[in-house]
Structure 1
Amino acid sequence: SKLLKPFVFRKYLDFGAFASMRDLKIQIQRDVNSKGMQDNIKLGRGGIREIEFIAQVFQLIRGGQDASLQIKPTLKVLALLKTKGLLPEKTVNELTEAYAFLRNLEHRLMYVDDAQTQELPKSDEAKARIAKAMNCKDWAAFLTQLNAYRSQVQYHFDETFSDANAGADQLETEKSIWNGALAEQESVLALQQLGFTDAHETLHRINTLHQSSRYLQLPELSRQRFDALMPHVLSLAATAPNPEATLTRMMDLLESVCRRASYLALLAEHPQAMHLLVKLCSSSPWLTSYLTQHPILLDELLDTRTLYAAPDFAAMRAELLVRLTESEGDIERQMDVMRHFKHAYVFRFAAQDINGELALETLSDYLSALAELILNVSLEIIWPNVKGKHLAKPKFAVIGYGKLGGKELGYASDLDVIFLYDDNAEVASEVYARFAQRINNWFNSLTSAGLLYETDLQLRPDGNSGLLVSSVAAFREYQLNKAWMWEHQAITRARFVAGDVSIGEAFEKIRIEVMVQVRDLDKLKLDVQTMREKMRATLHITA
């Protein structure tokens, strides 16, 4: 089972499963038709197998990322798909009811013939027994009920596995441009008619992509998917306010992710996701770059309900802890889980921002709250693995400075933090230094999922030459007797963001004590002015 699991549940989202299972079902249906098995309630249309395929396709696509989907009972999988918003509640309810009916019928068919069968009976006597066993007054009433369930199942199966490109005999002009079927002048004219103002340069970029080594070296199936997508990209980009820029960003993105066939399959299977992707890329070069770095986020385009939903940070925390628990014992996997979580929510906030739904202050609040959530959960996950720990819960806190302290984080902001502890144990300084180092590595390590956050610890006492973590008492002593004026300026925006609340309260008292000190105003003005001039000189700015 352990050997097979990585091959069944892929590490990355596998949207190629749609096409594979669609083809498998077609083969089964051909076999059913050739053998006259249309009355088979398991293999025929609207039968048990179609319900199982619906459940299994989501397991195959997402099971590698979401271990909770690696379960076997079909009804439990359907319930999970409803909970996770992957299938509508009405769909799951109808499939569940149909599955129970069909399974009960299957058992009764076996009782009647005392054999392994899923075929409806032929004799009148057997039909009457089945109708009675299924609580129907006669065979006709039974068939009416059975056909209603099978029709529902068939409808939901077709909705799930419908081929987005089947019968699409449109976009002929765009196909001809991409495939090079038109002469150069004809292609230029066609691009102009579509809406591209710099048609010559646009055609040059299209031809460059078509002849690129990355495209030419794609496996045949991936190249077919790429070829199917590009006419849609051309058509949608042409309608954007900035068609040339939009097309360039989309081509760069697709060229970057095309080696991962699943991402091409995702866009091919979900046209609405492609529409939204073009809109986002048209609106933001930064977001295009973010998607290029983290293409797994394309999955977020599938459900606009979650994409544009206001964040529930308590629910988000619970969600993250569940995912981390599923990967318990695998630190590298946990680091990736946390990075995927952070990237997904940053992407959601960016999509809402582009959609005009977030004021700048609200966006900064969301990004700051996300960082605080991740810091708090990180402390909980890392502490149990710290060598030599002497307490079940650390007497340790993270203080946010700068943009984190002021709740002004942007998309690419780093985290200005310091670490404090309040523990008189002999081993405390050594253990908490080890803890702080683990936290720093956890955030700054570059894994296959990217970076979590860059942390900046320069604002700790004595800066880069100081200890990584300070006791509360040592921090107070430093701030009152040794700190520079700019350090007192920095503390005005600082606040407790994670860890032991009592240490946060102690820090706040120190902060206020520092801020209300009696000062020489002339010296204060001079110190601030001197620091400002140093900053300008560093940035090569003249007054």
Structure 2
Amino acid sequence: MVWRKYIDKLPSALQGRVQYHLSCFQRTLGSTSLDFDKRIEKTLCFVWAISDYVAMSCAHQPSLLSDLQDSGDLFRSYEVNTYPNMLEQLLSDGSHESELMAILRHFRRREMVRIIWRDLTHWAEIEEIFIDLSKLAEACLNSALTYLHYWQTQQVGIPYGGFSNNSQKMIVLAMGKLGGGELNLSSDIDLIFVYPEEGETQGEKKNISNEEYFTRLARSLIRVLSYLTPEGFVFRVDTRLRPDGDSGPLVSSFDAIENYYQYQGRDWERYAMVKMRAVVGEQYAKDHLIKILHKFTYHQYLESNIILSLKDMKSLINKELQQKKDESNIKLGLGGIREIEFIVQSFQLIYGGEDPNLQEQNIFSILNYLIKKNYLPSYIGNELRAAYIFLRQVENCIQAYRDEQTHTLPATLENQIRLSFAMGYEDWESFSIELNHHRNKIQKYFEELFTTSSYIHYKTHPDKKELLKQDQSTHYTNESIGIVLNNPVDYSYPKKIVEMLEQLEQSWAIRALSKRRQIQLKQLIPLLLEIINHIEKPEQGLQRLVILLEAIAKQPIYFDLLLKYPKVISQLANLCIASPFIARQLTHYPVLLAELLNPNTLYQVPKFHQLTENLEQLLSTTPSDLDQKMDVLRHFRHRETLRAAVADITGALPLMRIGDYLTYLAEVIIKKSLELSWQYLINQYGYPCNIAKSGTVEHCGFIVVGYGKLGGYELGYGSDLDLVFLYDVFTDESINREQKTIHPTVFYSRLGQHLIQILQTLTPLGKLYDIDMRLRPGGTSGLLVNSFEFYKDYQYNQAWIWEHQALVRARFIAGDKQLATSFATLRNNILSRQRNPKELQTEICSMRSKMHSELDRSQPDLFDLKQGRGGIADIEFIAQYGVLAWSHKHPSLLKYPDNIRIIEELAQIGLISLEDSQKLTDSYRAYRAAANRLSLQEQDELIECKYFDRERSEIQALWVKLLTA
């Protein structure tokens, strides 16, 4: 047997699998014989031992391997245009989408076998493998889009720009690994879809907007590439990096994307944009778009806020690593691929504005440049490069096994042997030693990033080199702290206190202060130490205060405030110690420190009507500039949230009032934000042609619907807002042709986008809220703004039971009063439809079971308050079941969208007992109170099981009683 000598060279654990693959291959081949090139003969058993994907592909279609051999493709490097030329020939006779999908999948499998073979045998360097994978993805993307665009124009016409009157084509931005030309074997492709101008299609009977045209096109493209058929998929597509993520429109015009990144773009989006590359589109359009996005990404001058933002991102990564402690993940774990990427992209963000050579997307090119131009000490750059190559080779070997997107080191002995063998090591121990050597190096340099003596300052601050060499000796000792407090301090970890004060004194923010301000800081330290001397966890309290002091050092006028008003120091310390949430709010938004000057207003929260009046008063004294009004809204939200937190901690407000208050606050802000958006759109385009020119927000033909916690009056401190946008139906007869404005559909779509922009834009004062639009019809792939008529049809004919469950907690928040009435009527009609009780129980139990398996984070000793069995979600589902099952007979169940009052109404009607109602509501209040406390402590909603053992048992018993009877 020709293969025997090669099988014997394999580790014994892998020999049986290769023999199995060879028997399958021979069985498919039948009586046909194949003559193999010596190079294939020598490597086949090795490659098949490592990659089941390659082996099974060859066994399923032996002609694939003979084709790669006979064409010579397996042994050669491809030219730049090889992939496009090959696909052009294959697709020349394609006439419909299903054929396109089949050809692309067959082509992808052939080329993946070639690439994996060349990678595992080292016939190609790792950089060539990445380039081939990226070029393969680009070719499939371009070819698919070319055909889909042509077919769609035949159906709905050609899109033209409303301003230029030029025909329009889509531009596709590649992000992440594809953007950097570094795609791995089983990677998703991160894409953003953009088109040049708003306008309409021409050439068919009914014109549609360019937004609708390109949204359809993008969906078709995603389906062609991602849909799983018997032949597999081409590439999984991820579009979450687009403006506003899942809640944003799937496609954006140049104007919309420029507006978003100018006013709303966040620092993490700048970080992501470092990898941005336009891979599809006409060259002039791509060049124009890249200029827009580079203006957002790279700034001509060094900004302190981007360094602070990168430090925040680094802290988040560290926190995530500490929580997960997943050392088996070579991408996201300690010393993983992500840490190298973060180091390199940090240099690009900080210095790319002044050095355009750093605007390259490929990490190999950037690393070489950082070393060459002395941004990085050469030994660090070379070690990072070697580590990156090693980890990416490991990643490819892991993914080559089954063509699965995984970054986890194998846990089974056979797969550990497979990976070690693939990487050229005798055993797992030898491989692990080398792996850990690289990961330790990466982690070391990652940890050093942005520290006082960080290499990130190596190039940029030559004038500060002496500063880096300054004496690092301590100014604080345990004894000096004891002297300050007039008594010895018995801290459990006294060194921590000293270390924190040293770190504060040595931080860049403090060292940059004038001598006067540094003297003020030294006056503040004893006052703070005196306060923490009387608390249970002094180290924790000082840690929060140190972080705050470092933050306010950027605006040292706050030192004056603290020294002038000693009571503010006491208030500040006590609140920060009581709640890390409050400490973080004050750290991020020091302007709130002024609120501590007036305890009378700080500890009292206004009524709903007062909230509205207070916001109106603030805005009335603000210039008409939208940016300034947005900052007023943010300051107002932070101030009122701080009041709520203080009232919560001190017991001035009960739990239910806290939820009500935070909900009312959100409503007031949404209503005002909608007014601002409405006025902005009116100023830009005039009134929509289906609305009278005197129309106000209350007669604007548009509403905001709140779902979830917003709809149920249960917002917490960090809750996002679940929103759905609807606009009124209109007919051609209702459109006023004399009003020269954009089409109502486009107008309302932009109104929704602008509202999200106001609510989610990250300014120096943060954002107002995170917005979640996934409950709209079609979820993340649906339109951002839907007509009421479409929404109505969807609810009646397409919505799932879980969507009707969500509708239980939906209510009108802001906008057109008449449309609000129509929505309320529709909600009642949908919820009160008579349903089969058994089928309803089955659907609800199935959904709850799915949520439990996917979302429940309970552990043997910890209970997930939200998703654990017998927890908040179970109570919510019981309330929703009651509404869906019985409201056709008892309309009073439709009156309220909140769980407590629904459950109480169920008892009043007699559908559940008063005793059961009391158990449900008491447990619900107890759970929410615990979740609230954890939120203020910035902890996960996990609690020791012993605290709610009785409540959990009671709720589970009620679940069985009500939903399985």
Q: TM-score under structure 2 normalisation?
A: 0.36
Measured after TM superposition, the shift of residue 181 of structure 1 is 7.3
Partner of 2:784: 468
Partner of 1:295: 590
Local SS of the residue matching 1:538? helix
> Amino acid of the residue matched to residue 482 of structure 1?
Q
Measured after TM superposition, the shift of residue 381 of structure 1 is 1.6
TM alignment of 1:416-431, pairs within 5 A: 416-424=722-730, 425-426=734-735, 427-431=743-747
Contact 1:281 / 1:288 at 8 angstroms: preserved in 2?
yes
Query: In the alignment, which of 368, 385, 388 is matched to residue 663 of structure 2?
Result: 368
Partner of 1:510: 826
Shift in CA distance, 516/280, structure 1 to aligned 2, threshold 3 Å? same
Partner of 2:640: 345
Partner of 1:252: 547
Partner of 2:849: 533
> Amino acid of the residue matched to residue 777 of structure 2?
P
Query: In the alignment, which of 802, 825, 838 is matched to residue 522 of structure 1?
Result: 838
> Amino acid of the residue matched to residue 269 of structure 1?
K
Measured after TM superposition, the shift of residue 442 of structure 1 is 1.0
Structure 1 position 211 matched with structure 2 position 211: no
Partner of 1:408: 714
In 2, distance between residues paired with 1:528 and 1:271?
Answer: 57
Structure 1 position 490 matched with structure 2 position 785: no
In 2, distance between residues paired with 1:320 and 1:277?
Answer: 25
State the identity as a percent. 36
Contact 1:195 / 1:239 at 8 angstroms: preserved in 2?
no
Measured after TM superposition, the shift of residue 321 of structure 1 is 2.4
In 1, distance between residues paired with 2:668 and 2:756?
Answer: 16
Shift in CA distance, 464/231, structure 1 to aligned 2, threshold 3 Å? same
Local SS of the residue matching 1:517? coil
Contact 1:267 / 1:273 at 8 angstroms: preserved in 2?
yes
CA deviation string 1:140-189 (max 9, x = no partner) = xxxxxxxxxxxxxxxxxxxxxxxxxxxxxxxxxxxxxxx97776556468
In 2, distance between residues paired with 1:405 and 1:439?
Answer: 18
Measured after TM superposition, the shift of residue 537 of structure 1 is 3.6
Contact 1:488 / 1:515 at 8 angstroms: preserved in 2?
yes
Local SS of the residue matching 2:488? helix
> Amino acid of the residue matched to residue 546 of structure 2?
M
In 2, distance between residues paired with 1:248 and 1:478?
Answer: 52
Shift in CA distance, 451/186, structure 1 to aligned 2, threshold 3 Å? closer
Partner of 1:156: none
Measured after TM superposition, the shift of residue 534 of structure 1 is 2.8
Query: In the alignment, which of 441, 446, 459 is matched to residue 762 of structure 2?
Result: 446
In 1, distance between residues paired with 2:508 and 2:678?
Answer: 47
> Amino acid of the residue matched to residue 208 of structure 1?
Q
Contact 2:562 / 2:568 at 8 angstroms: preserved in 1?
yes
> Amino acid of the residue matched to residue 415 of structure 1?
L
> Amino acid of the residue matched to residue 382 of structure 1?
S
TM alignment of 1:1-400, pairs within 5 A: 184-185=478-479, 187=481, 193-194=488-489, 196-386=491-681, 387-388=684-685, 389-390=687-688, 391=691, 392-393=695-696, 394-400=700-706
> Amino acid of the residue matched to residue 446 of structure 1?
L
CA deviation string 1:22-60 (max 9, x = no partner) = xxxxxxxxxxxxxxxxxxxxxxxxxxxxxxxxxxxxxxx
Partner of 2:817: 501
Measured after TM superposition, the shift of residue 401 of structure 1 is 0.2
In 1, distance between residues paired with 2:517 and 2:483?
Answer: 29
CA deviation string 1:105-144 (max 9, x = no partner) = xxxxxxxxxxxxxxxxxxxxxxxxxxxxxxxxxxxxxxxx
Measured after TM superposition, the shift of residue 193 of structure 1 is 2.6
Contact 2:552 / 2:558 at 8 angstroms: preserved in 1?
yes
Contact 1:189 / 1:199 at 8 angstroms: preserved in 2?
no
Measured after TM superposition, the shift of residue 378 of structure 1 is 1.2
Contact 2:476 / 2:498 at 8 angstroms: preserved in 1?
no
In 2, distance between residues paired with 1:316 and 1:183?
Answer: 49
Local SS of the residue matching 2:704? strand
Shift in CA distance, 399/505, structure 1 to aligned 2, threshold 3 Å? same
Greater relative contact order (Cα 8 A, min sep 6): structure 1 or 2? 1
Gaps of 5+ in 1: 1-178
Contact 2:476 / 2:501 at 8 angstroms: preserved in 1?
no
In 1, distance between residues paired with 2:506 and 2:584?
Answer: 23
Shift in CA distance, 182/441, structure 1 to aligned 2, threshold 3 Å? closer
> Amino acid of the residue matched to residue 715 of structure 2?
L
In 1, distance between residues paired with 2:528 and 2:800?
Answer: 56
In 2, distance between residues paired with 1:186 and 1:328?
Answer: 51
In 1, distance between residues paired with 2:534 and 2:780?
Answer: 52
Gaps of 5+ in 2: 1-472, 736-742, 859-868, 870-965
Measured after TM superposition, the shift of residue 541 of structure 1 is 5.3
In 2, distance between residues paired with 1:348 and 1:491?
Answer: 31
Partner of 2:266: none
> Amino acid of the residue matched to residue 428 of structure 1?
P
Shift in CA distance, 212/310, structure 1 to aligned 2, threshold 3 Å? closer
Shift in CA distance, 208/448, structure 1 to aligned 2, threshold 3 Å? closer
Measured after TM superposition, the shift of residue 276 of structure 1 is 0.5
In 1, distance between residues paired with 2:476 and 2:779?
Answer: 64
Contact 1:195 / 1:238 at 8 angstroms: preserved in 2?
no
In 1, distance between residues paired with 2:476 and 2:826?
Answer: 74
CA deviation string 1:92-115 (max 9, x = no partner) = xxxxxxxxxxxxxxxxxxxxxxxx
Measured after TM superposition, the shift of residue 208 of structure 1 is 2.8
In 2, distance between residues paired with 1:496 and 1:365?
Answer: 16
In 1, distance between residues paired with 2:829 and 2:802?
Answer: 16
Partner of 1:138: none
Measured after TM superposition, the shift of residue 313 of structure 1 is 2.9
Shift in CA distance, 541/214, structure 1 to aligned 2, threshold 3 Å? closer
Shift in CA distance, 383/304, structure 1 to aligned 2, threshold 3 Å? same
Q: TM-score under structure 1 normalisation?
A: 0.63
Measured after TM superposition, the shift of residue 329 of structure 1 is 3.3
CA deviation string 1:254-287 (max 9, x = no partner) = 1121121111111111111111011101111121
Measured after TM superposition, the shift of residue 372 of structure 1 is 0.4
> Amino acid of the residue matched to residue 703 of structure 2?
A
Contact 1:398 / 1:417 at 8 angstroms: preserved in 2?
yes
Between stretches 285-294 and 465-474, larger displacement belongs to 465-474
In 2, distance between residues paired with 1:522 and 1:410?
Answer: 35
In 2, distance between residues paired with 1:357 and 1:183?
Answer: 40
Local SS of the residue matching 1:193? coil
In 1, distance between residues paired with 2:484 and 2:623?
Answer: 56
Shift in CA distance, 343/185, structure 1 to aligned 2, threshold 3 Å? closer
Shift in CA distance, 269/526, structure 1 to aligned 2, threshold 3 Å? same
Shift in CA distance, 181/358, structure 1 to aligned 2, threshold 3 Å? same
